[in-house]
């Protein structure tokens, strides 16, 4: 276990801004939006103080922010931005172009409910609206994970076999504004870990001119999409290599899935983000009462790497999936992914879907217990969506 | 048209990894009307050369001055811009007096 030299009480936003300072990206273009604002605010201070070499581009909208980092990344720069909610929605057109152009942009997203009606608090509807955009999605449970995953994201996206943009999701306010203890790595250690930018087809290489974003009709578009599908298939192997390396410098282990108390668990809950912390606490309480419960939290949600999940869930009594966003008229996104992964599992567990926390509605221990108790009683219906903390 | 590559052979991201690949693109296959050059009426003003969107007007330099030579049908897509801007071509002139005459491509089919 490497020695902890730099332990600080910081917000998630500060932790991410510090990761960005240590990465020292060539270009950051961003537009402020609650609750992402402090990330960019802290980073802008680093730029003003001259502690980073970054070209900071204050733009007039998120559409421009994503456009600017697309241009920068195509030029061969290490480019980052950050956003949330409606800002991410405004980026959408270019979010898709960033992935399709295979530009390894890194973007922390402080997850927040999409309007309307307008709401600034945490839910996952912003990131879920981008889940098919071709970005890798990593999900953090707390400020420490948000910091670590930002560093991992940079390496993952730039890897030769991947070349994809990466989104680090961290719950708005809960992680972005909550103060927690974070162990930072030394600047020199991070510098060595992230290394020099790995570029491919840089526009600034004027001796080897290339064209980005040409018209791509029925004769080639399909082939380019197939390449993106292939790149996502490489993520599992590359991610594992990088997290092994990260463990050596940090002592912190990141797998595809965070598994807590699952070895002998009969009932497993699955959730993304900060709620996993509350679930872990509830798991401890229920274990004291003799219930064999556990939680699986995806650190990687896109690509959705179901093989490991299938192995973990095979033969359990029940699986409860918690979603912090709805898919109107269809099953909630995480539930849909887990349910479809279970199709090929030999001993299928009973499965149930619970939507919670929309627009920042608090998720309480009693709600999590309630869902577990439904499972204990065998009272789960795979085709029914239930709601935690809603006034019925 | 160059041979179509499969997804494993292509550069990623829709990137075109070398310059001037438009040279391989036979835009001449689009043509439904064809410009015919009648050198005897041409004043070599170079308007057609300047306006042609596919650089399908061929010229040569004689005694330091550009001379219109004719059309490259590999690239000429038959848009008719050249005939439109040509000062020695218009609807009121009889065909034999024009520098450029636009003719249906069907007339040249075997
Ligand atoms: S018809 Fe159009 S493409 Fe062909 S030579 Fe004239 S201007 Fe060029
Ligand atoms: S525009 Fe007409 S006159 Fe001028 S060079 Fe072309 S063909 Fe000749």
Interface predicted TM-score (ipTM) = 0.89
In terms of C-beta density within 10 A (0-12 exposed, 13-18 middle, 19 or more buried), how is residue B32 classed?
Answer: exposed
Q: What angle do CA A83, A210, B48 make, to 5 degrees?
A: 115
Mutation choice for B interface testing from A75, A99, A201 by most B CBs within 10 A = A201
Q: What is the CATH classification number for the domain harbouring A306?
A: 3.40.50.920
**CB of B12 less than 8 A from some CB of A:** yes
Partner residue opposite B14 with nearest CB, options A163, A209, A213: A213
B18–chain A Cβ distance below 8 A for any pair: yes
* B30 to chain A, closest Cα gap in Å: 16
Ligand 1 center to A128 CA (angstroms): 49
Q: What is the mean pLDDT of residues A1-30?
A: 92
Whether the CA torsion B73, B78, B79, B80 is positive or negative: it is positive
A1 assigned to some structural domain: no
CATH number of residue A22's parent domain: 3.40.50.970
Q: Does B16 touch chain A (CB under 8 A)?
A: yes
**Which of A232, A250, A268 lies at the terminal end of a domain, its last residue?**
A250
Q: pTM for the full model?
A: 0.92
CB atoms near residue A102 (< 10 Å): 26
Q: Which residues of chain A lie closer than 8 angstroms to B19, CB-CB?
A: 209, 211
Span A160-169, average pLDDT: 98
Of the candidates A203, A235, A250, which is a domain's last residue?
Answer: A250
What CA–CA distance (Å, rounded) separates A162 from A176? 28
Interface touch A224/B5, C-beta < 8 Å: no
How sure is the predictor about B110, in pLDDT bands with cuts at 50, 70 and 90?
confident
Residue A15, pLDDT > 70, answer yes
Taking each helix axis from N to C end, the angle separating A306-313 and A333-341, rounded to the nearest 10 degrees, works out to 70
| pLDDT digits 0-9 by tens, B39-73 | 999 999 999 999 999 999 999 999 999 999 999 99
Please check whether residues A246 and A317 belong to one and the same domain: no
pLDDT digits (tens, 9 = 90+) for A47-97: 999 999 999 999 999 999 999 999 999 999 999 999 999 999 999 999 999
Q: Which residues on chain B are in Cβ contact (under 8 Å) with A220?
A: 4, 10, 14
Q: How many domains does chain A have?
A: 2
Residue A226 lies in a domain: yes
| Mean pLDDT rounded to a whole number for chain A | 97
Interatomic CA distance for residues A269 and A382, integer angstroms: 14
Among candidates A144, A157, A216, A133, which has minimal Cα distance to A185?
A: A144
> Could you give all domains of chain B from N- to C-terminal order, each with its CATH number?
28-108 (3.30.70.20)
pLDDT at position A5 is 76
pLDDT single digits (tens) A188-234: 999 999 999 999 999 999 999 999 999 999 999 999 999 999 999 99
Instruction: State which residues form the domain around A376.
Output: 257-388
Give the pLDDT confidence of A136-155 residue by residue, as tens digits: 999 999 999 999 999 999 99
For residues A244 and A272, membership in a common domain is answered with no
Q: Could you tell me if the CB of B35 is within 6 A of ligand 1? A: yes
Residues A161 and A289 both lie in one domain: no
- pLDDT for A2 equals 64
pLDDT band, very low/low/confident/very high, at A291 (cuts 50, 70, 90): very high
pLDDT of residue A153: 98
Distance between CA A313 and CA A267 in Å, rounded? 9
Q: What is the mean pLDDT of residues A105-127?
A: 97
- Tell me the pairing of strands A27-30 and A350-356: unpaired
For residue A248, the Cα-to-chain-centroid distance in whole angstroms is: 22
Say which of A214, A226, A231 has its CB closest to residue B14. Answer: A214
Average pLDDT of the residues in A261-277:
98
How many whole angstroms separate alpha carbon A255 and alpha carbon A161? 19
Residues of chain A in contact with residue B23, where contact means CB-CB under 8 angstroms, are none
């Amino acid at each position: 276990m490497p020695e902890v030299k730099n332990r600080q009480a910081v917000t998630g936003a500060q932790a991410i801004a510090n990761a960005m300072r240590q990465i020292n990206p060539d270009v950051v273009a961003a537009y402020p939006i609650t609750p992402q604002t402090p990330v960019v605010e802290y980073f802008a201070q680093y730029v003003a103080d001259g502690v980073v070499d970054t070209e900071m581009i204050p733009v007039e909208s998120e559409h421009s922010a994503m456009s600017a980092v697309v241009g920068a990344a195509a030029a061969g720069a290490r480019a980052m931005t950050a956003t949330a909610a409606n800002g991410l929605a405004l980026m959408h057109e270019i979010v898709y172009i960033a992935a399709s152009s295979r530009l390894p942009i890194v973007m922390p997203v402080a997850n927040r409910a999409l309007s309307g009606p307008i709401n600034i608090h945490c839910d996952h509807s912003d990131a879920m609206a981008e889940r098919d955009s071709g970005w890798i999605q990593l999900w953090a449970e707390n400020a420490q994970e948000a910091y670590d995953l930002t560093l991992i994201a940079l390496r993952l996206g730039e890897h030769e076999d991947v070349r994809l943009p990466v989104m680090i999701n961290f719950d708005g306010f809960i992680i972005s504004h909550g103060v927690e203890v974070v162990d930072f790595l030394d600047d020199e250690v991070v510098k060595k870990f992230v290394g020099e930018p790995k570029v491919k087809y840089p526009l600034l290489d004027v001796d080897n001119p290339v064209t980005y974003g040409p018209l791509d009709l029925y004769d080639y578009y399909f082939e380019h999409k197939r390449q993106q599908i292939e790149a996502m298939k490489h993520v599992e192997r590359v991610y594992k290599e990088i997290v092994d390396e990260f463990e050596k410098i940090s002592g912190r282990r990141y797998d595809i899935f965070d598994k807590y108390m699952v070895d002998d668990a009969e009932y497993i809950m699955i959730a993304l983000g900060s709620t996993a912390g509350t679930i872990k606490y509830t798991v401890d309480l229920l274990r004291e009462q003799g219930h064999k419960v556990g939680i699986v939290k995806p650190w990687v949600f896109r690509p959705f790497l179901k093989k490991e999940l299938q192995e973990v869930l095979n033969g359990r009594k029940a699986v409860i999936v918690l979603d912090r966003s709805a898919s109107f008229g269809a099953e909630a996104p995480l539930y849909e992914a887990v349910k479809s992964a279970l199709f090929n599992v030999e001993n299928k567990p009973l499965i149930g879907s619970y939507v919670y926390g929309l627009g920042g509605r608090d998720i309480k221990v009693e709600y999590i217990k309630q869902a577990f108790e439904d499972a204990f009683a065998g009272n789960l219906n795979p085709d029914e969506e239930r709601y935690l903390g809603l006034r019925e | 048209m160059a041979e179509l590559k499969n997804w494993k052979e292509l550069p990623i991201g829709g990137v075109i990894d070398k310059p001037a690949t438009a040279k391989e693109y036979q835009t001449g296959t689009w043509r439904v009307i064809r410009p015919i050059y009648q050198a005897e009426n041409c004043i070599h003003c170079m308007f057609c050369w300047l306006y042609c969107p596919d650089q399908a007007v061929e010229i040569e330099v004689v005694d330091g001055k550009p001379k219109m030579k004719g059309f490259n049908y590999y690239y000429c897509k038959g848009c008719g811009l050249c005939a439109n801007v040509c000062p020695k071509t218009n609807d009121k002139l009889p065909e034999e007096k024009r520098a450029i005459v636009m003719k249906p491509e069907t007339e040249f089919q075997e």
